A and B are shown apart, each in its own frame.
Chain A
Amino acid sequence: GAVVSQHPSWVICKSGTSVKIECRSLDFQATTMFWYRQFPKQSLMLMATSNEGSKATYEQGVEKDKFLINHASLTLSTLTVTSAHPEDSSFYICSARQGGGQETQYFGPGTRLLVL
């Protein structure tokens, strides 16, 4: 099946620093990638949808200047949490969709962010 990787899997950082998370589709080209955030015991919250070569579409309430998304190629999207604060600590998960009528989203293993 389709494989999506995320790096890093764990990040601990100080308040005020920026953190970049990479999401890669390893064996397929992803025309669309999605970034989610999940707090403990809660459902996934879609943050933004990113299409290769165009600006990301952010969900209501998600600050685009704080969560910078770049989808530079068909296999790579990055999420940068700028000036991270403790309340940004969460589980960040990306997913990728192949396109061309393929509707299934394949999820990366997630990145745990802890901001001290």
Chain B
Amino acid sequence: GQSLEQPSEVTAVEGAIVQINCTYQTSGFYGLSWYQQHDGGAPTFLSYNALDGLEETGRFSSFLSRSDSYGYLLLQELQMKDSASYFCAVKDGNNRKLIWGLGTSLAVNP
């Protein structure tokens, strides 16, 4: 079957660094995406990794290791507004639709 695993909840304090891991098992692989979703809102795109390595965008970075079927989202200098759910999603190589993880709820405390 196809599945993505990520932790269900993470708690951290303002200014800290948090890493949210994602392991995947899919029939095809086109790339790993990360999305942020605040309560009541729709997902917003954060990053996309098609090749191995680290992609950095401001305070957020995303990493991919295709040989390990593993990636992570790194959030630095956490702010209260970063409290949200974070989803990893794999683009299925066969039909290019997104297969979603169950999401990680991040709570940033003062």
List chain A positions with a Cβ less than 8 A from chain B.
34, 42-44, 46, 49, 93, 95, 103-110
Contacts and interface: CB of A to CB of B under 8 A. Distances in A.
B98 A105 contact: yes
| Chain B interface size range | 20 to 34
Contact of B30 (A34, A103, A106, A108): A103
24 contacts: A34-B98, A42-B102, A43-B100, A43-B101, A43-B102, A44-B43, A44-B87, A46-B100, A103-B31, A103-B48, A103-B50, A103-B91, A103-B96, A104-B33, A104-B45, A104-B48, A106-B45, A107-B35, A107-B43, A107-B44, A107-B45, A109-B41, A110-B41, A110-B42
Given A42-B102, A103-B31, A34 B97 contact: yes
Contacts of A108: 42
Given A42-B102, A43-B103, A93 B45 contact: no
Interface of B: 30-31, 33, 35, 41-45, 48, 50, 87, 91, 95-98, 100-103
The 3 closest A-B pairs by CB, nearest first: A110-B42, A107-B42, A43-B102
